[in-house]
Chains A and B, each alone.
Chain A
């Protein structure tokens, strides 16, 4: 397989990773909470789109906004009513809480949706440019993922809420002095995190079979992307995602697909030790 094909495969995969991880990164960076629910949020988004498609024939693109709103509400509610109560407790507490919540969500999903792998097959065929081969659904997935990430970036940069989120992340006390209610911004951020996870799930179900048991794998990817790209920034997650995608694509080719993940995690450990602020690293942010 030639290099160009590997790079393109990697970028297609990486765009999905970026979209998957950006919400996780935002929550971690702003709230200082490692959200163990993130993987299940992704799966939930995928399942909702799948069932809307298979029972009511709703096109996944049409389902996208509904899934987004639904997951935002779920995330906002969980943060507002539960996580907020312990958000200033040590790492282990918030991590354990979100893990407990994840067990509940996971169990609900396996009972109501069963663990069968599901995928929306749109049968769009594939095409070839300059000798690089690409299935159409993958291309659409990649473009969608990039578009969603770009929209989030734009909103964060230009909206009042976006500015408030950055302010809370940089300096909580000063943010309070601006009249920003930190708890409400926390809930919104968590909602956005869940929303991005759900949207990523819709895209993923177009490309890969989705089942509850891969929730952990997706969560693991989000970890790696965050550590590569640095916490809490959209460009960081984008770069982190693309780097991981390309690295995995090459690793899968040269060391075999079963070792691609090992390489990803080794990269994570290496970066944690060498440069814990991530490759992009927000200046001055620990």
Chain B
């Protein structure tokens, strides 16, 4: 039931929010990263999970958000306003691109969306008068105590994560979510029962990008420096999809569980096997595909979380 999901989510938010008060900086940083990836994975869930369109455009919009935020801040726009601006620009760009891109299906859609990442990266590196090109951009740093900065960014990221979760709950329980699920299962039939598939898909795509834009802008303010190859990474785009799959795409908690699991595993791997981290993540992904194809939440132990028929999950 979604009620369990909401309660568990709330508890998890409290745990993450409490980290600055009992744990080291390193843990707080991890909590920020978890909240950040959870936001992205939850966003992805709207298009990739509910609508079943394998979007690989996440990094494109995170990066776009970073750049709009950073460029605005460099040009004197106050930080929070820069974040809002980034969100707005990402929303508009994804609306325009979505209207074109969602004419594609399956592999072609996946390719079209992944190419956006590369395209945005190339534009960011060649438009140097605005973006600083390959040298990147320095964003004005928050001149507070480091601990305060951590706490502040954590709260902002958690707020975004809560928003993303709320968006999933709302979408799932309204016509939009219902329509997206119809599209996932049989797009032609959806059309035939009166779903305006184009409109629904574009709406789903937009929702899947907006908060990514905000996350990007906040991230830029947090780390203080961005460059094209860091901001637009194919790896990030695939990581986010993998997180959602790992937890269980199309479920409410899946992306959150997946993001947390992935980030924690990644941290462990980073610390202990620096030169092998990529290979170990690769092994992890291969393992996931073969042993958890429907995600952690669709394994038997968590059946109580997915008993709501509307999830569209297969019944035993």
- Do these two chains really belong together in a complex? yes
- The CA-CA distance from A87 to B111 in the complex, in Å, is 18
- For A103, what are the chain B residues with a Cβ–Cβ distance below 8 Å? 278-279, 281-282, 285
Q: Are B285 and A276 in contact (CB under 8 A)?
A: no
Interface-located stretch among B16-24, B68-76, B286-294:
B286-294
Task: Say whether A95 faces chain B, with CB atoms less than 8 Å apart.
Answer: yes
Is B129 an interface residue when CB atoms closer than 8 A count as contact? no
Question: Which residues in B have their C-beta under 8 angstroms from that of A28?
Answer: 107
| Given A89-B293, A103-B285, A111-B275, also A258-B241 (CB < 8 A) | no
A273 engages B100 (CB within 8 Å): yes
Q: Is A180's beta carbon under 8 Å from chain B?
A: no
Asked if B282 contacts A102 (CB within 8 A), the reply is: yes
- For chain B, residues 56 to 108, give those with C-beta under 8 angstroms from any C-beta of chain A: 100-101, 103-104, 106-108
Q: Would B286 and A101 count as touching, CB distance under 8 A?
A: yes
| Contact assessment for B104 and A272 in the assembled complex, using a CB-CB cutoff below 8 Å | yes
- Which of B114-122, B175-183, B219-227 forms part of the interface with chain A? B114-122
A91 contact from B110, B285, B286, B293, Cβ within 8 A: B110
Tell me which residues across on chain A come within 8 A of B285, comparing CB atoms.
96-97, 99-100, 103
Q: Is the CB of B126 within 8 A of A96?
A: no
A223 to B104, CA, bound (A): 15
Determine the distance from Cα of A159 to Cα of B130 in the docked complex, in whole angstroms: 56
Known: A96-B241, A100-B282. A262 touches B54 (CB 8 A): no
Q: Which residues of B contact A97 (CB under 8 A)?
A: 285-286, 289
Write out, one digit per residue, whether chain A residues 74-91 have a CB within 8 A of any chain B CB (1) or not (0): 000000001001100111
Which residues of the other chain, A, contact B54 by a CB distance below 8 angstroms?
A: 90-92, 95
Interface of B is mostly: helix
Q: Are A266 and B282 in contact (CB under 8 A)?
A: no
Docked Cα-Cα span, A220 to B293, in Å, equals 27
**CB of B99 to closest CB in A, whole Å:** 10
A interface with B by C-beta (< 8 Å)? 28, 32, 34, 82, 85-86, 89-93, 95-97, 99-108, 110-111, 216, 220, 223, 227, 256, 258-259, 261-262, 265-266, 268-269, 272-273, 276
B residues bordering A, Cβ < 8 Å? 48, 52, 54, 100-101, 103-104, 106-108, 110-112, 115-116, 118-119, 122-123, 125-126, 234, 238, 241-242, 245, 275-279, 281-286, 288-290, 293
29 contacts between A and B (CB under 8 A): A90-B54, A92-B241, A93-B293, A95-B54, A96-B242, A97-B285, A99-B238, A100-B281, A100-B283, A101-B282, A103-B281, A103-B282, A103-B285, A104-B286, A105-B282, A106-B279, A107-B279, A107-B282, A108-B279, A111-B276, A220-B118, A223-B115, A258-B126, A265-B119, A266-B119, A268-B115, A269-B115, A273-B103, A273-B104
